[in-house]
Structure 1
Amino acid sequence: MRPITDNEVTVEDLAERLRGDDGLVVLDVREPWEVELCHIGGSLHIPLGQLPTAVAALPRDRDIAVLCHHGMRSAHATQWLRTQGFDRAINLAGGIDAWARRIDPTMKVY
């Protein structure tokens, strides 16, 4: 991934990464009702409020792209994950909304 900053990546770069099979984990921290509306296939869903108790389920040896609706909750999650030793966590700039608008226009926006 070519980061926007040390902690962010564009939806275009994430889409490019997902076309390959390099072990990237996509972590969706939105609420269940949001994931029901739309999601990136194959992503791991852990709502932000449950992240502290579910963090052990995440791999420390792989890149983790974190997403939410617009990128604010996932930015907080990315920052928190990095304080927990997940140095390869990176935020998806613009979140699922940017993904739907620029990568998958068939995806529902909300």
Structure 2
Amino acid sequence: MSEATLPDPATGIEVTPAQVSDLLPAVRRGEIALVDCREDDEWRICRIEGALLVPLSRFAEATPPEIPVIVYCHHGMRSLRAATYWRQRGAEAWSMSGGIDQWSAEIDPSVPVY
């Protein structure tokens, strides 16, 4: 079985929670960054293990990672904006569709829904 890889950036900006789940070993190895762009109060409710918190409200002052990055939020709208913002600044960035809400429904039901 071959290791999961990110899709070609030219084919789209979104990845599914299942794709992100398959990529978690690369996140753990530091080959891909996983960024949560929700706010601190949301982060305290739940998060995906290995994610870094960079609230969308502070994206203008954040430096995009130099490695590929997957961004997620609550339902996928803020992360889409965040990934687009970082792509415009030269980063390899994708948004996880459906956000942590879909992650909880499809991948890890132990993650609280709010």
Matches within 5 A, 1:25-36: 25-36=33-44
Offset of 1:43 from its aligned partner?
A: 0.6
The 2-side partners of 1:68 and 1:84 are apart by: 20
TM-score after normalising by structure 2 = 0.85
Cα distance per residue 1:65-96 (max 9 Å; x no partner): 0000000000001111111111x100000010
Q: Is the 8 A contact 1:82 1:89 kept in 2?
A: yes
Aligned to 1:46: 54
Aligned to 1:76: 81
- Of 103, 110, 113, the residue aligned with 1:106 is 110
- Of 16, 24, 42, the residue aligned with 1:18 is 24
Offset of 1:8 from its aligned partner?
A: 0.4
Offset of 1:108 from its aligned partner?
A: 0.2
Q: Is the 8 A contact 1:29 1:48 kept in 2?
A: yes
Aligned-partner SS, 2:35: strand
Offset of 1:23 from its aligned partner?
A: 1.1
Cα distance per residue 1:22-68 (max 9 Å; x no partner): 6110010001010000001111101001011122xx422x1100000
TM-score after normalising by structure 1 = 0.88
Question: Which runs of no fewer than 5 residues in structure 1 stay unpaired?
Answer: none
Percent of aligned positions that are identical:
37
Aligned to 2:99: 95
The 1-side partners of 2:93 and 2:49 are apart by: 19
Question: Which runs of no fewer than 5 residues in structure 2 stay unpaired?
Answer: 1-5
Aligned-pair RMSD on alpha carbons?
Answer: 1.4
